Amino acid sequence: MARLPIKTFPDPGLSRPCRQVREVDEDLKQLAQDMLETMYAAPGVGLAAPQVGRDLRLVVIDCVPRDEEPQPMVLFNPRIVHMEGQVIFEEGCLSVPGFTCDVTRAERVVVQAMDAEGRPFTVEGEGLMAICLQHELDHLDGRLFLDRISPLKRTLYKKRRLKQLKRDAE
C-alpha cells in the first residue's frame, strides 16, 4: 500500500468529469487500497480518484466514528438511483484546505456501484453516509462542495485560496 499525494483546489483535474471504469483489474484494486490508506492517513471520511490525480469513477468511503471498527467501502462507477429528503451539514474536503461551509443535500440516497472486487452492489445511505456519498460522487462529475454554496462565499474562498498559494510560492 502507498499513500498518494492529494490534489487541491484549483487543480484543473478536480473540475473535470471522470471516465467510467471498464474493468476492475489488479491495478485498480491496488489503487482503491492506496486511496483508502491515503484517506485514513489524512484523515478523511471519503476520497475520490480525481483527488489523487486519476480520471476514473472510483471513490472510497468510511464514515463510521474513528473509535469504532473501520468499515472501508470501495465504489467503482457509483451512481445514485434514489434520493429523498433534505439535510444541511457543514462540509469540508481534503482538496479544499482551510474551509468548511453548510451544504444542502438529500437526506437519504441509494447508490449502485461495483465493490473492491468488481461485484455489483447497492448501498443505502442515511445521515453522514448519505452526505459523504453525495459529496464523493460529486467529485466524479468535477464538482466540489464549493459549487454548491452561495456565489459570494465561493468567490471569497477562491480569492483567499489564490492569495495563500501566491504567498506560499514566494
CA atoms of 147 and 134, how far apart (whole Å)? 13
Among 101, 104, 87, 92, which residue's Cα sits nearest to residue 154? 101
C-beta of 77 vs 95, nearer to Ni ion: 95
Known catalytic residue: 136?
Answer: yes
SS3 call for 50: helix
Q: Determine contact, residues 60/32, Cβ cutoff 8 Å.
A: yes
Size of the site for Ni ion (CB under 5 A): 1
Question: Which residue type does 150 have?
Answer: S
C-beta of 31 vs 133, nearer to Ni ion: 133
Shortest distance in whole angstroms from residue 160 CB to Ni ion: 18
Task: Decide: is 140 part of the binding site for Ni ion (CB under 5 A).
Answer: no
Shortest distance in whole angstroms from residue 93 CB to Ni ion: 3
Joined grid coordinates for residue 50: 480525481
C-beta of 52 vs 113, nearer to Ni ion: 52
Segment 75 to 114, residues that bind Ni ion, using CB under 5 A: 93
Residues binding Ni ion (CB under 5 A) = 93
